[in-house]
Amino acid sequence: MTTNNLMQHVTSAGFPADTDMVHLFIGGSQLHGAKVVGYDDLDIYGAYIEPPNRILGLQVLPHFVWSSGAERALNTANDVDVTCYSLHRWGELMMKGNPAIVHYLYADNSLGQTVWETHIRLHREALLSQKSARQYLGFAESQRMRLTGERGMGRHGQRQDLVDKYGYDTKFAMHYIRLLYECRELLRDRHLTLPRPEKAQLIDIRTGKFSQDEMFALGRELQAECESLLAISKLPEAPDKVLLSRIVADAYLAHWQPA
């Protein structure tokens, strides 16, 4: 999908015209390389810089979220979700180690050369932390517990069509395994590869080629490896707040006052 197509979706969703997108990419299963044609919706993610009057005044816009899907139903393949954060809000979430926010550092920017490339992306390795790894493990555990019924199933519950076809929600399962693979790479290589190198295996999980027992066995193996890597990790406990604050501020100033 072209940049123009992505921006058309964002604009049609009501994104304010006075605010500049600096990073825009397709997320979700397509970002990971595990999209199933005819099943997954279109997930668009972005980061933007507000004009000075918004961020310094009273019309703050920390995030912009929109969906074409119905509130009480699972999205269909025709639906579009838009999730965008101000660069300031993205930095706050990065401090918390949110895995979806880490993706921003490694997803290709459809907008080309912006302040995201010149001021944010080049610092990505310095922003990785053990906090992110722990968040990955926590998100993976949440997916596992949804599969087993140990916790709630989320807003819409399990996907009954997948349960009927394969015996369990294979999309929950795919994300459970995917999160663990990403955690392992972050700890082992200080990097995140998108789409995922194991995308063929992730699609196999999504399409029921793994039994539930086989999938859980793989998950236990990956979790144990991640926990061992975390125990000896030399990553900082959390991102450097001073560094992150400086690069976010510099990006705002560079965008507002181009050379």
pLDDT of residue 74: 63
Three state DSSP letters for the chain: CCHHHHHHHHHHCCCCCCCEEEEEEECHHHHHCCCCCCCCCEEEEEEEECCHHHHHCCCCCCEEEEECCCCCCCCCCCCEEEEEEEHHHHHHHHHCCCHHHHHCCCCCCCCCCCHHHHHHHHHHHHHCCHHHHHHHHHHHHHHHHHHHCCCCCCCCCCCHHHHHHHCCCHHHHHHHHHHHHHHHHHHHHCCCCCCCCCHHHHHHHHCCCCCHHHHHHHHHHHHHHHHHHHHCCCCCCCCCHHHHHHHHHHHHHHHHCCC
pLDDT tier at 72, thresholds 50, 70, 90: low
Greater confidence (74 vs 248) lies with 248
Confidence (pLDDT) at 78: 78
What value does the mean pLDDT of the chain take?
93
Does one domain contain both 218 and 135?
yes
Q: 166 and 212, same structural domain?
A: yes
Instruction: Tell whether 125 is covered by a domain.
Output: no
What is the pLDDT, as a whole number, of residue 204?
97
Q: What is the mean pLDDT of residues 45-68?
A: 95
Mean pLDDT of the region 232-246: 97
Does residue 49 fall inside a structural domain?
A: yes
Q: Is residue 215 part of a domain?
A: yes
Q: Give residue 156's pLDDT.
A: 47
Question: Of 54, 78, 111, which residue is a domain's last?
Answer: 111
Residues 101 and 41 grouped into a single domain: yes
If one counts the domains in the chain, the total is: 2
55 and 102 together in one domain: yes
If asked whether residues 148 and 204 sit together in one domain, one would say yes
Predicted TM-score (pTM) of the model is: 0.92
Together in a domain, 176 and 219: yes
Asked if residue 157 belongs to a domain, the reply is yes
Are both 184 and 104 inside the same structural domain? Answer: no
Do 138 and 90 share a structural domain?
Answer: no
Q: What is the mean pLDDT of residues 40-58?
A: 94
**79, 178: one domain:** no
pLDDT at 46 over 60: yes
Q: Which domain, by its residues, includes 94?
A: 3-111
In a domain, 246, yes or no: no
Q: Does residue 42 belong to any structural domain of this protein?
A: yes
Question: How high is the pLDDT of residue 39?
Answer: 78
* For residue 104, pLDDT beyond 80: yes
Asked if the structure places residue 200 within a domain, the reply is yes
Look at residues 80, 111, 142 and tell me which one is the last residue of a structural domain: 111
What integer pLDDT is reported at residue 152 of this predicted model? 60
Whether residues 87 and 158 share a domain: the answer is no
Within a domain: 254: no
pLDDT in tens, 147-201: 888 876 554 456 789 999 999 999 999 999 999 999 999 999 999 999 999 999 9
CATH number at residue 75: 3.30.460
148 and 209 share one domain: yes
- Pair (105, 204) in one structural domain: no
**Overall average pLDDT of the 19-37 stretch:** 94
